[in-house]
Structure 1
Amino acid sequence: MRNHDGTGVRTTGGAFLRSELPIAGFAIIEASSLEEAIEMVSGTPCAVAQGVVEVWPLEVP
């Protein structure tokens, strides 16, 4: 998920947990759907400042 300079959310399907750049950290959030989670993180500094935020569902057995 990207929202560079706050110009609009762009999502790309797939797993991308491979990068030449360092991973800045992670967070666990509670959301009703993947779409809600994307909306919640779209305004974070990393998403707006030319970064990338991966949103993964956490499945509890």
Structure 2
Amino acid sequence: MPRFITIGYGDRSGYDRTAKTVRDAAHAADAQRMREGDVMGIAGKPVQVRNHDAAEVRVTQGPFLSADLPVAGFALVEAPNLEAAIEIAARSPCAVAQGVVEVWPLDPTPGDEG
């Protein structure tokens, strides 16, 4: 089945402005997706890794993206198509709590096309 990376952007103030019943339903939907095998998590502090020409590993502390909202979480979801992945993302805590979610289709892994 096709896989998609979702990147959720949001902040605590947007989360707090969202009705508890809406937040709870979004968390329940995420919990169900995780029971079905999707991988999800709250974003930690990123690092950049460079190893140009495989000569020297350099690590730089982040964050690096500049956006209106901070990165709040990630998920790796399976869905039959992009439209279904969008429906999943639309029910996520970031989407319902005044944030935004990007959905990135992943190209099939060689040998894993179905």
Which is strand-richer, 1 or 2? Answer: 2
Percent identity reads: 62
Q: Judging changes above 3 Å, is the alpha-carbon distance between structure 1 residues 44 and 36 closer, same or farther for their aligned structure 2 residues? A: same
Equivalences for 1:24-35 in 2 at 5 Å? 24-35=72-83
- Using the size of structure 2 for normalisation, the TM-score is 0.36
Structure 2 gaps of 5+ residues are 1-17, 23-64
Regions of 4+ moved over 4 Å: none
Structure 1 gaps of 5+ residues are 7-16
- Using the size of structure 1 for normalisation, the TM-score is 0.62
The number of residue pairs the alignment matches comes to 47
Which is helix-richer, 1 or 2? Answer: 2
The two structures, once aligned, show a CA RMSD in angstroms of 2.2
CA distance in 2, matches of 1:22, 1:29: 21
CA drift at 1:40: 1.2
Q: Which residue in 1 is equivalent to 2:53?
A: none
Q: 1:59 aligns with which of 107, 110, 113?
A: 107
Structure possessing the higher radius of gyration over alpha carbons: 2
Letter aligned with residue 43 of structure 1: R
CA deviations 1:7-55 (Å, max 9, x no partner) are xxxxxxxxxx751432112110001110000011211111011100000
